[in-house]
Amino acid sequence: MTVQSNANLFDVSGKTVLITGGARGLGRNYGEAFVQHGCHVVLGDIDADLVKQTATELNQLARTTATCEGIELDVTNEEQVEAVVRHVVDTYGDIDVVINNAGIVDRVGVEEMTLDAWNRTMGINLTGVFLVSKYVAREMIQRRTKGSIINMASMSGEIVNVPMEQAAYNTSKAAVAMFTKSCAVEWAEYGIRVNAIAPGYMKTDMTGPDFEPGGKFYHLLDAIPMRRLGLPNELSGLALFLASEASSYITGAVMNVDGGYTLI
């Protein structure tokens, strides 16, 4: 019986990683984590100027030969998605990891929501995941790359949490979870693993103040068993794990990172 060494299970250095919605927030945080672990990172974002600025800043943090590139990407534009995937392959030789992070939330009651607003949420949150996954998987299959696709779901795809007026967002994230499972089964034979991260309430520059004493959501901390918000690096650690060989037998999983919120 051959004993496999555990020494390099968590090593992701040298991998090429495409991150959508990478200009700010969680996408930027993922990018920072991967360049610091020696990866070539391509950040795609609809805000072309900001994503290039972010890439310049992350290049200052890159480890050894790691690099970071920012490129304009509208995940709802099929021709642009195909072109960006082709650019990544032509430039770096392969795509090893994708994080489908681009997403929006429109907090409007169903009876007030326009069809355009509904379609925009579905387009970015769901169709964008489909398009990026489709073209990346084609390359992985053709090149026999045993890659990792990581989708951003949400605890809101499992429960209706506060704020409650976000039916389009909740529905899109529930669909992302099922899309993840479906792709995991379809592409397992090619060695492509597809998993999803489902965050709970996270501490970001935008949401953090709402959970401070006196904030409109401060009372929700009592409903989280861990009694605190999640931190962005607690998502990045899971993404690094899912990108590494340490998770080589995990596919189709939707992993809640919510401090236990959905358990009660």
**Hey, which residues are catalytic here?**
169
CA distance 253 to 264: 21
> In which residue are the tokens 């429960």 written?
159
Check whether the bond before 163 is cis (ω within 30° of 0): yes
Distances (CA, A) of 134 to 85, 126, 149, 194, 260: 10, 12, 11, 12, 33
SS3 76: coil
99 phi and psi, to 5 degrees? -115, 110
Helix axes 167-187, 128-143, angle to 10 degrees: 10
For 260, the token pair is 């236990």
Per the structure block, which two tokens stand in for 110? 């169903």
- Contact between 178 and 126 (Cβ < 8 Å): no
Q: Please name which of 193, 211, 150 lies closest in space to residue 21, comparing C-alpha atoms.
A: 150
